[in-house]
């Protein structure tokens, strides 16, 4: 079987790629066709593990790894069926190879390698952050270069996306990610897991100006972020509400917290606009893109959209289904690299840490650099 399929000719202008994502708590598979540079998502299947982690108020790596192993095959088969394609039609297999929880990353990557080997198709080992970085191209005309705010549970970064594989970090969090701050604040307030969407729902009934919270790093001349102090201030404000806070008091705190995160993202991103303006010629049309799970937050989106308009940039944010973790973005990153002539070998390794902009992260790690390399 392998030799017959391996002879399938490579098509330059069109490719069909299966993407696999398993770096955190979503097991996902997607089939995507890239034709003349235009992606078409034929299927995108996501099995969420939220229910399994909810009793613990956060993702438990051991439970996540086990759940990925249980689901990966079914999810992949469902993606293939929904796309109505045969395995022999695929040109390449793209799997997330990091960064993320290593048990899950290994499960998805090994499964991808197994498929690549048995089908005689190339493997693409994809950086999860690159998936998020390219995700706006799934739904929008989004030509390079663009300024990207990647804002998720594990990452908060501003990057200049100059072209495929050319990503320059302009700023990064020095402690917690914005999504992590949402999740931890929601946990303290007893809102359940995942915290971001729950906190946004509660905030709808609250007054965003009722609780004064700090805006860390405001006015600093770089484009870095910090959320640890804000998270601690929100925890103190919640404790000050006493044993049995009213629903209105909780909603006011949630709205104030969300408003402050939006203000921090707005102010820090403003610095990155200045840097991007210096990096890219005036004649090039400018675009600001927001991606990652926190980009699902409506009031954060609106605040960033107005900043973008003030600065004369076009604005893109992927639809919600492509903001949070999904495999369509991994399939897209794989397809774009495959169309560009890249393939990886089966020796590609799973990496718990893998900065998107390896060079500047190695020179100036923002949040620690252990034996396994810089975190961000």
The contact set with ligand KG4 (CB under 6 A) reads: 24, 152-154, 179, 182-183, 194-197, 200, 292-294, 296-297, 324-325
Q: Which residue, 39 or 98, has its beta carbon nearer to Zn ion?
A: 98
Q: Are 322 and 329 in contact (CB under 8 A)?
A: yes
Count interface residues toward Zn ion (CB under 5 A): 2
Output the smallest distance, CB 9 to ligand KG4, in A. 36
Count of beta carbons in the 10 Å neighbourhood of residue 25: 26
Mention every residue, 6+ apart, whose C-beta is less than 8 A from residue 247. 205
Q: How far is the CB of 196 from ligand KG4 (least distance, A)?
A: 2
> Of 93, 122, 106, 74, which Cα lies nearest the Cα of 19?
93
Task: Name residue 15's beta-bridge partners.
Answer: 34
The binder of 99, among Zn ion, ligand KG4, none, by C-beta within 5 to 8 A per type, is none
Based on CB atoms, which residue is closest to ligand KG4, 145 or 153? 153
3-state secondary structure of 17: strand
179 binds, options ligand KG4, Zn ion, none, Cβ within 5 to 8 A by partner type = ligand KG4
**Which 3 state secondary structure label does DSSP give 24?**
coil
Residue 182: CB minimum distance to ligand KG4, A: 4
Cβ distance to ligand KG4 smaller for residue 80 or 230: 230
57 vs 194 by CB, closer to ligand KG4? 194
Give φ, ψ of 29 to 5 degrees.
-140, 150
Position 22 contacts Zn ion (CB under 5 A):
no
Give 58 or 229: the residue with its C-beta nearer to ligand KG4. Answer: 58
Pairing of strands 373-374, 123-127: unpaired
Query: Interface residues for Zn ion in 292-351 (CB under 5 A)?
Result: 325
Residue 152 contacts Zn ion per CB under 5 A = yes
Rounded CA gap, 78 and 191, in Å?
32
What is each CA distance from 353 to 115, 128, 143, 318, in whole angstroms?
24, 10, 28, 25
Smallest separation, CB 144 to ligand KG4 (Å) = 22
Closer to ligand KG4 at the Cβ: 122 or 194?
194
Can residue 183 be called a binding residue for Zn ion (CB under 5 A)?
no
Question: Residue 376: helix, strand or coil by DSSP?
Answer: coil
Contact 253, 189 (CB under 8 A): yes
Residues that bind Zn ion (CB under 5 A): 152, 325
């Amino acid at each position: 079987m392998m030799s017959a399929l391996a002879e399938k000719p490579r098509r330059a202008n069109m490719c069909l790629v299966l993407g696999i994502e398993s770096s955190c708590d979503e097991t996902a598979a997607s089939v995507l066709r890239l034709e003349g540079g235009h992606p078409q998502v034929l299927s995108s299947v996501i099995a969420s593990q939220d229910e399994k982690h909810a009793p613990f108020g956060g993702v438990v790596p051991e439970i996540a790894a086990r759940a990925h192993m249980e689901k990966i095959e079914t999810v992949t088969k469902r993606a293939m069926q929904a796309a109505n394609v045969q395995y022999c039609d695929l040109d390449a297999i793209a799997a997330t190879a990091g960064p993320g929880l290593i048990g899950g990353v290994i499960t998805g990557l090994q499964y991808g390698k197994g498929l690549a080997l048995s089908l005689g198709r190339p493997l693409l080992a994809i950086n999860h952050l690159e998936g998020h970085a390219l995700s706006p191209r799934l739904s929008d005309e989004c030509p390079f270069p663009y300024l990207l705010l990647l804002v998720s549970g594990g990452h908060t970064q501003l990057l200049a996306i100059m072209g495929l594989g050319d990503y320059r970090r302009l700023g990064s969090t020095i402690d917690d990610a914005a999504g992590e701050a949402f999740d931890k604040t929601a946990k303290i307030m007893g809102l359940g897991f995942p915290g971001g969407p729950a906190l946004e729902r509660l905030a709808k009934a609250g007054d965003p100006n009722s609780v004064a919270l700090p805006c860390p790093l405001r006015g600093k001349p770089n484009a870095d972020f910090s959320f640890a102090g804000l998270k601690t201030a929100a925890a103190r404000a919640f404790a000050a509400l006493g044993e049995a806070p009213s629903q209105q008091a909780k909603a006011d705190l949630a709205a104030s917290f969300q408003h402050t995160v939006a203000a921090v993202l707005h102010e820090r991103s403003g610095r990155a606009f200045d840097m991007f303006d210096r990096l890219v010629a005036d004649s090039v049309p400018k675009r600001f893109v927001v991606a990652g799970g926190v980009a699902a937050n409506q009031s954060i989106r609106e605040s960033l959209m107005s900043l973008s308009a003030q600065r004369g940039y076009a604005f893109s944010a992927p639809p919600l289904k492509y903001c949070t973790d999904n495999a369509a973005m991994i399939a897209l990153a794989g397809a774009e690299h495959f169309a560009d002539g890249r393939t990886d070998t089966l020796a590609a390794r799973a990496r718990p840490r893998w900065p998107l902009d390896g060079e500047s992260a190695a020179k100036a790690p923002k949040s620690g650099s252990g034996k396994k390399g810089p975190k961000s």
